[in-house]
Chain A
Amino acid sequence: MTLRRIPMQYSMQSTSQLFSRGAHQALRVSLFGLALAAVTSTASAMSPGGDLVIEAGRIITQAGGEITDGVIVIRDGRIEAIGAADEVERPWDLNVVGGPEFTAYPGFVEAHTSGGMDRANESIDVAPFLNIRDSIDPVSFFFEDVLRNGITTLGVHQGNNCVIGARGMVVRPVGRTVEELMVIGEFGLKLSAAPKSGSSRATQAQALRVAFDDLKSYLEDSVGERRYDGDKAKREALYQGRELDEEESKGRAMGGTAWKVDGLELIPRGELDVKQRPLLELVEGNYAAFIYCGAPMDVHLALEIARDNGFLHRTTLVLDNSCWKAADIIAEAGVSVVLDSAMTHIERDPYTGKEIETVVPRVFADRGVRFALSSNNASSQSLWYQAALANGLGIERSAALDAVTVIPAEILGLGDRVGSLQVGFDGNVVLSSGDPLSTTSWVEAVVVEGEQVYDRKTDARNQHLFEGQTPPVGKQSSMSQGSTGNRR
């Protein structure tokens, strides 16, 4: 089906491109101090870097204002020029998509979702050593659906039912393999301040605190033994059968702003227990943290953990809609948040029995907290609709749009690449038949990094959704699979 149609030139990409992109990626990798440099670079190498010219009667740049009758020139997957038709000179050799009847805007960004995974949660309480990469299903219809709704970047994380969950990744809904999907390989850890099912809040709190205590004592023990010429760590490493490349064989003093363990440089990073490694990265500030809060009281715990272990500055809170009550301390902590898709919170006063309804985004907007919207349930499964609802509930139109573009992009550490249409940014553009927040407009085409990866005219499933025409048998069957996949 359309979405799977990978353009020809992409598979026979020129090696020169490969290199340039590889280098670029490697740079970013070292920035994030990621272990899996190899994987990431291959991923980027395979990602399409298309050249395209996009015309639109209206361009919502999300970077200061709109452009009427504008043109976007994308080269090598990046926006080379953007502006009014008469100002931008368009290369003669590029394909052109769009036209005056279209409205163009940056692809939406979903900061936190568990979609596209075979199963959202792992039974182990503390499992930072797991990696979402091994769980993502590239051909899940989830990615097809989000593309259909104009979402071009997603942060995929473990579900909320954990203490410390797997390492999440940032993907784009295009590609046949995880590597093709991947934008950032190991982006952040998922934690939960809300009790894992079957345990009490106190237990959860203790488990979170203990996890970091354990890390600390583990590091101290290892250093201690190393000092007294113990080589337990080495044997452990060999026992786990890992060959240490030169990067891994070097020791490094402990980074981060919170507690420190002296002498960590004595131990080659590669010799550290893989079960403890990710937490160390987190404490050193190399990972982002997504902490789920199921109730306002959880926010206190979440912030305490983030502060005590020095990753507050890289923390994003994933909030249940009751958490508006903790808005003040969230604002004080200066972290950004991802809101639940149900945007109003209804509470019943136990004494009067009267219902009190609170508009959650308004509370955060008033406190100046940066919030992203999410679309994590099937009936509101699209960010444009969430943004529209937020707007209807009294959020400024621009703020509502930011909450599905710019802000989630920043949360995913891609503030300089996606979420708005500027020169140098990824060429992720949605062409819509009308205003993004109107129910009557449809996503007509989606361009990701310069490749048109979605075209409504050839989207058989959408035709089925829209005109209720029964598509050919093959599609029919796959459709039903897909939908069951969606209603996970």
Chain B
Amino acid sequence: MKNMILSLALFGTAAGVVSANDDDGTSWVVLADQVYTADGEVYEGGFVAVADGKITGVGPGGGSGGSELDVFAVTPGLIDLGVRITEDPDVLEQSTETSITMRVAHGLDLFDLAWDRELRSGVTTVLASAPDNNVIGGLSVAIKTGGEPTLEARTVKADAVLRGSFGTQPSQGNQQSRGVPQNFYVRRPTTRMGVEWEFRKAFYDTIAAGRFPERAFEGSDVLKRVLDGDLPLSVQAWTTQDIRTAIYLKEEFKLPSMFVDAAAEAWKEPELLVRSGMGVVLPPFSFDGRVGREGAFFAWNTAKMLSDLEVPFALSGHGARNASERLAYQPGLAMRGGLSLEAALEAVTIAPARMIGIDDRVGSLEVGKDADLVLWSGPPFQPTSRVIGVMLDGHLVLDPRETNE
């Protein structure tokens, strides 16, 4: 233990020295055998130049203008739309089933070590959503996993998505009323159709509120934005049943921008997905095919299928418990199902960024975008490779020179 403390202390001083040399560690040139820009380009032997937290240059050959890092491969920072970083009771609003206007951002504990864990595993931006125990959980925030621990500093897009959930989870714990309710779990909904109804009702009321202003209610403005397509709707739907419900909902209310999260059984009725133009976020792969608390069945080649059908989709870590489930490895497993490396790359970078409209800042290696980079010891996403470096807004939060011994 003594040694540990010493190493800490020495590390402290070392860090001081480093940052003193690298002109404040704000400008870097990352040289890599493989540069995956995620905007179509892959450079064999290229560079990424970074200054003041932004990407100032990408291309083949070498760049200059900062301290140099030499690694095997570099990809954009990974984006996880399904991260379960908020799954603790503090951010679970039980008083209502449709907490539409609730901002999960205000429930986030930015000092939780989970953020750092995500960051060190290469995930630089996440969509933090309310836990799915409410039918409509509230407004999710697109947020960086590191940086100054303030909402201002970390938020990429406030109110990025309205989050809802299908299936049995939202009705879990609710009980039929027998006589006078004893506790607040005695309430709607108790079935999945009840859950679905809560959804529909919310939208019916909103439409009504559109016609008769006096019928406006808390959150109707938000749902209005969803109906207008200004605000994407994300719905958790593990099983075919739920996915189908989501699709019908989308088509019934003509929701322009909507995607299903944790859609393990998306493979079962692809034609419906294509018809609805719905986006899809997939859960982590499992070797026995069983995922989620409803035991949905997740086929290996789902991602491949979606990519062939040109359904917009993203992969997610979805609260990965152990290293092998982390988002960084999911593309590799998707490739096991036949997905191409390019498609797999986009599914954890630019694709999710587009889904929630933050692709102007993150998701690919382009000049002017945030300097969120993941540095790899080998071919990205293979279990045989390792995330040896992570850069967030130009700050080297995981230093390949330290991890790569």
Contacts and interface: CB of A to CB of B under 8 A. Distances in A.
B382 A392 contact: yes
A378 B287 contact: yes
A442 B337 CA distance: 10
A391 B377 CA distance: 11
Interface residues of A, number: 43
Contact of B289 (A348, A397, A464): A464
A429 to B, nearest CB: 22
A392 B4 contact: no
A437 B383 contact: yes
B288 A468 contact: no
B337 A392 contact: no
A382 B287 contact: yes
Interface stretch (A274-282, A294-302, A351-359): A351-359
B335 A483 contact: no
Contacts of A377: 322
B324 A487 contact: no
A468 B302 contact: yes
Contacts of B302: 468
A348 B332 CA distance: 30
A343 B322 CA distance: 9
A389 B113 contact: no
A467 interface: yes
B383 A391 contact: yes
Nearest to A482: B288
A466 B301 contact: yes
A439 interface: yes
Interface in B280-301: 284, 286-290, 295, 297, 299-301
Interface string A430-456: 000000011110100000000000000
B322 A380 contact: yes
A349 interface: yes
Contacts of A149: 287
A465 interface: yes
Nearest to B270: A468
Contact of A440 (B8, B321, B322, B336): B336
Contact of A392 (B301, B333, B384): B384
A391 to B, nearest CB: 5
A343 B323 contact: yes
Nearest to B291: A379
A61 interface: no
Nearest to B111: A353
A381 B288 contact: yes
Contacts, number: 104
A377 B288 CA distance: 11
Contacts of B332: 439
Contacts of A145: 287-288
B67 interface: no
B288 A348 contact: no
Interface centre among B267, B324, B378 (most CB of A within 10 A): B324
Given A439-B333, A439-B335, A483 B322 contact: no
A380 B297 CA distance: 17
Nearest to A381: B287
Given A352-B8, A487-B288, A465 B383 contact: no
B299 A354 contact: no
A145 B336 CA distance: 17
B333 A483 contact: no
Contact of B8 (A354, A389, A391): A354
B299 A392 contact: no
A342 interface: yes
A487 B290 contact: yes
Interface in A334-357: 341-344, 346, 348-349, 351-357
Nearest to B328: A392
A379 to B, nearest CB: 5
Interface in A360-406: 377-382, 385, 388-389, 391-394, 397
Contacts of B322: 341-342, 377, 379-380
Nearest to B120: A357
B254 interface: no
Contact of A439 (B286, B305, B382): B382
A379 B384 contact: no
Contacts of B287: 145, 149, 378-382, 385
Contacts of B221: none
Nearest to A354: B8
Interface in B318-371: 321-325, 332-333, 335-337
A368 B322 CA distance: 26
B300 A393 contact: no
Interface in A408-439: 437-439
B290 A483 contact: yes
A113 B321 CA distance: 21
Interface in B6-48: 8
A62 interface: no
Interface in B77-134: 113, 116-117, 120
Interface of B: 4-5, 8, 113, 116-117, 120, 267-268, 284, 286-290, 295, 297, 299-302, 305, 321-325, 332-333, 335-337, 377-378, 381-386
Given A378-B290, A439-B381, 7 more contacts: A348-B113, A392-B383, A392-B384, A442-B336, A466-B301, A483-B289, A487-B288
**Shortest 9 CB-CB distances between A and B: which pairs?**
A468-B299, A388-B383, A468-B267, A439-B332, A439-B336, A381-B287, A380-B324, A391-B384, A466-B300
15 contacts: A378-B286, A378-B290, A379-B286, A379-B324, A379-B325, A385-B287, A391-B383, A438-B382, A440-B336, A466-B300, A467-B300, A468-B268, A483-B290, A486-B290, A487-B288
